[in-house]
Amino acid sequence: MKIFTAGVLTETNTFSPIPTGLGAYEGEYLMRGDVNPDDRHGYEVPVNVWKRMAAERGWTLVQGLHAASQPSAATVRRVWESFRDEILDGLARAMPVDMVLLRLHGAMVADGYDDCEGDLLERARALVGPDVPIGAELDPHGHLTARMVENATALVIYKEYPHTDFAERARELFDIIADTALGKVRPHMAVHDCRMIEMFFTTLEPMRGFVARMKSLEGHDRVLSISANHGFPWADVPELGTKMLVVTDDAPEVGAELAARLGRELVAMRGKTRVAALPIEEALAAAAAAPPGPVVLADVADNAGGGAPSDSTSVLRALVERGVRDATIGMIWDPGAVALAHEAGVGARLRMRIGGKVDPLGPGPIDLDVEVTGLARDQRVAYAGVRIGVGDMAALECDGIAIVLNSRRTQTRSLDCFTAVGIDPRARRLVVVKSFNHFRAAFDPIAAATLYVAAPGTLDPDFTRIPYRRIPRPIWPLDPDPWS
């Protein structure tokens, strides 16, 4: 058996002010040939799972291009076309192959392409023909387009948000595609469109129970795999929305019925599957009234993990103006300020202009008298068993507020984002993180309370305020009842 694998992974926020060119991939992850066997980058985990599973069976695995960038605006057209064509050339050279395994996101947009994953899958299908199984592992924050479903044999989406199960899902996909290649199963995909825009936090009820229910229904009644495509709200694309996907062993009616039933369950849970984000004033008041211990405050609208600059100063400015002390905030993306702090050195006191260089929606930069208290070069932070590069870092102290800056735009999802520069979030009353939900895996264990703040930003948590023009209508919550 011969397997071809490749992947391009990015989550496109079509409202982001940050362009995605070749440098965005070169700076994040671009691998030709053998991926690193030690899972140093999170991006390598599924491919290494497939490599091990192939080796155990004595099968050959050929690796094409693997590329990933931090979420940002649409990928530059020639970059997408060159990546796509390089993957297809690699596949053509590897043929004949028995199966194709792709690592994709599901919400990738390029200039001129609303659906990069569908574009790649369609061309791959044309190349290998109807009989070679093609599988892709996807992020739940995608669009799950008709073109993707038509051209793939099976799609498997992470079940967890925070995404902690990409290795498990990679094994699941390998098994389905391998069983297809061996003639043991004939996958059929059924999709139910929930006609809604929502975020689903799977560490909290009711989603915890929903994930458990999806898992309990797999492996019986010809159901091979069940996925919830949460959808990605910050994209102005024609197939946006929450969808349920059921892969059966050639049982279309079973799949359609189950996808519709689970889809109706998701619709019934709308409005209850995430924590409401409060305006800054209310959030700070709620933080002050919280029980003793660290209060974690998520600045969700400025989450780099969804395409935001992570340099908005809205919350920092509010802390300074209110004289809040015993607080820390991170990570603010500001390579220039990080370089100045490194130049000045630990112990230096200086006036610095912080943040607000790229974020178009907040109050701009803030000028503060600070002391440099910690510096670190080329840091990697732990997340879900892998190490994620955050670049150079600096910690600045300003009247009881420890400000953590970094040079490589990445969301704040582990305690190392503070401890790497000597700030202990466990010892601070208020810990502000720039993240939508991924921070919870690491911060919940230390938090006396967790709050979400809706400051102005690129990831507005109120979907009714997003200036959509091309999404399908009717759709909840823009339309109150799109189901009747």
Q: Which residue is nearest to Zn ion (CB)?
A: 141
Tokens coding 444: 């919940």
Distance of closest approach, residue 273 Cβ to Zn ion, in angstroms: 14
DSSP string of 417-470?
HHHTTT--GGG-SEEEE--SSTTHHHHGGG-SEEEEE--SSSS-S-GGGS--SS
Distance of closest approach, residue 67 Cβ to Zn ion, in angstroms: 17
Distance of closest approach, residue 32 Cβ to Zn ion, in angstroms: 25
Tokens coding 416: 């190392």
Find, among 412, 405, 397, 420, the residue nearest to 443 by Cα: 412
Tokens coding 456: 């102005």
Site for Zn ion in 339-398 (CB under 5 A): none
Q: Which stretch binds Zn ion (CB under 5 A): 133-141, 235-243, 380-388, 395-403?
A: 133-141
d(CA 229, CA 439): 21
d(CA 433, CA 455): 13
Residues in binding contact with Zn ion, number by CB under 5 A: 2
Q: Which stretch binds Zn ion (CB under 5 A): 115-123, 137-145, 356-364, 455-463?
A: 137-145
Tokens 């390579």 -> residue: 335
Closer of 305 and 391 to Zn ion (Cβ): 305
Q: Quote the crossing angle between the two packed helices 252-268 and 207-217, to the nearest 10°.
A: 170
- Return the percent helix, strand and coil in the chain, to nearest 5: 30, 25, 40
Site for Zn ion in 403-442 (CB under 5 A): none
Distance of closest approach, residue 180 Cβ to Zn ion, in angstroms: 26
Q: Which stretch binds Zn ion (CB under 5 A): 66-74, 135-143, 383-391, 417-425?
A: 135-143
Distance of closest approach, residue 106 Cβ to Zn ion, in angstroms: 9
Closer of 277 and 284 to Zn ion (Cβ): 277
Tokens coding 454: 């809706």
Closer of 137 and 139 to Zn ion (Cβ): 139
Strands 401-406, 243-249: pairing kind: unpaired
Closer of 413 and 429 to Zn ion (Cβ): 413
The answer to whether residues 6 and 134 touch, using CB atoms and an 8 Å cutoff, is no
Closer of 119 and 139 to Zn ion (Cβ): 139
d(CA 268, CA 151): 31
Q: Which stretch binds Zn ion (CB under 5 A): 54-62, 131-139, 235-243, 454-462?
A: 131-139
Distance of closest approach, residue 439 Cβ to Zn ion, in angstroms: 13
Tokens 């260089």 -> residue: 357
Find, among 402, 413, 429, 159, the residue nearest to 305 by Cα: 413
Q: Which stretch binds Zn ion (CB under 5 A): 44-52, 132-140, 268-276, 455-463?
A: 132-140
Distance of closest approach, residue 54 Cβ to Zn ion, in angstroms: 26
Closer of 10 and 313 to Zn ion (Cβ): 10
Distance of closest approach, residue 71 Cβ to Zn ion, in angstroms: 9
Residue 138-157 contact track with Zn ion, rule CB under 5 A, x = bound: -x-x----------------
Site residues, Zn ion (CB under 5 A): 139, 141
